Amino acid sequence: MNGVLAPVLTPFRADLSPDPARFVRHCRWLLSQGCSGLAVFGTTSEANSLSVEEREELLAELLRAGIEPAKLLPGTGCCALTDTVRLTRAAVRAGCAGVLMLPPFYYKGVSEDGLFRSFAEAIERVGDARLRVYLYHIPPVAQVGFSPRLVERLLKAYPRTVAGMKDSSGDWNNTKAMLDAFAPSGFEVFAGSERFLLANLRHGGAGCITATGNVNAAAISRLFHEWRSQAAEEMQESLNALRSAVEKHPAIPALKAIVAHYSGDPAWRTTRPPLVELPASQAESLLADLRPLGFEPRGLAS
């Protein structure tokens, strides 16, 4: 697995139920834009605001719609071991490329032993040689993360299963430490932001899994494919400019506002609580910031 993956936004109906039709359309569009895979049920997907059943149903809808499971990297890490096992097993049986696994995130300051045991139990209970686990490191949100020592222990115990990491620490030094320590033996490190895509690829990384991939996948994928070209730095700067415009706002409502605008489908603005929609004035300011950047996502279907 490498390239650019989008943690796919989850559309909701007015009654806040997940909307499979819009979800499938958005997934197809993302693949058409050059996404090499779809990290459905990530943080940007509001996945922890979905029940286990709601995630299962959305995954089933994608498969029914003919989305290739080999393109899917669903998020399956929950607070409860039993939920993690259930979602991971479903993903493996469906033929997904792998799963992106959050650590259990309710208890804070838990021990390395406790986290090791969480992953070990999940992997052994699923008990399937096809399982590929990508560790989801996002301490700014989950507050619970992966130390290099924990990664090392997991790789030693499950070398064929523990396949890589998404590093959403926002700290390049952490990503670089993971690359230096583990990439040479095949561990796939994805930056959690396209801001680090070029640096990540230059140091042996696998690509990026990035929220803004939901709206800017074509340009991000272009850098992934042309990172050795002379234009790479310039392409990186242009990606950064768009990201900076989005980052002035809460990311998920901002991305939903962009999709709503360019698809002409205001229903896309809906978020599930505890998130709230971007206020109209902020959405206008965001769209105004994007215009001079030459941003024009083609074919975003309503």
Residues noted as catalytic: 43, 106, 136, 166
Site for a second copy, residues 175 to 234, rule: CB under 8 A: none
Beta-ladder partners of 189 = 165
Q: Lay out the site mask for a second copy across 269-288 (x = CB under 8 A, - = otherwise).
A: ---xxxxx------------
Residue among 102 and 290 whose Cβ is closer to a second copy: 102
* Half-sphere CA count of 200, side-chain side, radius 13 A: 32
Which of 43-51, 188-196, 229-237, 287-295 is the region at the interface with a second copy (rule: CB under 8 A)?
Answer: 43-51
* Residue 103 vs 205, nearer CB to a second copy: 103
By CB under 8 A, how many residues form the interface with a second copy?
Answer: 38
- Return the axis-axis angle of helices 52-64 and 81-94, rounded to nearest 10°: 10
Nearer to a second copy, 31 or 110 (CB): 110
Helix (H) or strand (E) holding 283: helix 280-290
Extract the tokens encoding 100: 């992106």
Contacts 24+ apart (CB under 8 A), 221-226: 221/3, 221/4, 221/33, 221/34, 221/35, 221/36, 222/34, 223/194, 223/197, 223/198, 224/3, 224/4, 224/36, 224/197
x/- letters, 96..135, toward a second copy (CB under 8 A): -------xxxxxx-xx-xxx-xx--x--------------
Q: Which residues bind a second copy (CB under 8 A)?
A: 16, 43, 48-52, 54, 79-83, 86, 103-108, 110-111, 113-115, 117-118, 121, 140-144, 272-276
